[in-house]
């Protein structure tokens, strides 16, 4: 992709509307780790009745995640990280997930 006159990387619709929000969801779950853990623990403890018994934990988790989803600075942070990963992929041809997993091994 060519950069625009402003030096800004041009992102496709799928990148702006699908891939960056996916990254935001993953990072928001990390930032809300305590709420995620509390909700998961409640669900494991209550089983079938989790829908009724874990409303408080679910509401706290949703609130935490929503704060991040609606934060323009958080979107920009994820967008910049996505762009860096994209540029690195274009430069190396190695997807980010493969790059992070590969560790040099001795033969």
pTM: 0.74
**Count of domains forming the chain:** 1
Position 4 scores a pLDDT of 41
What is the residue range of 80's domain?
Answer: 28-93
The distance between the two most distant Cα atoms of the chain, rounded to a whole number of Å, is 56
Distance CA 92, CA 46 (A): 48
Position 50 scores a pLDDT of 86
For residue 17, is it within any domain?
A: no
Position 6 scores a pLDDT of 39
Which single residue is written with the structure tokens 């033969």?
Answer: 107
For residue 69, is it within any domain?
A: yes
For residue 78, is it within any domain?
A: yes
What averages of pLDDT result for each successive group of 10 residues across the chain (107 residues)? 54 94 96 96 90 94 97 97 93 76 47
Position 99 scores a pLDDT of 55
């Amino acid at each position: 992709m060519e950069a625009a006159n402003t030096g800004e990387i041009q992102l496709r619709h799928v990148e702006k509307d699908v891939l960056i929000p996916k990254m935001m969801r993953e990072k928001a779950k990390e930032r809300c780790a305590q709420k995620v853990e509390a909700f998961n623990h409640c669900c494991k403890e209550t089983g079938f009745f989790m829908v009724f018994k874990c409303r408080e934990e679910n509401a706290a988790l949703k609130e935490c995640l929503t704060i991040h989803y609606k934060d323009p600075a958080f979107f920009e942070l994820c967008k910049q990280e996505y762009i860096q990963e994209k540029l690195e992929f274009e430069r190396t041809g190695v997807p980010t997930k493969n790059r992070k997993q590969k560790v040099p091994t001795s033969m």
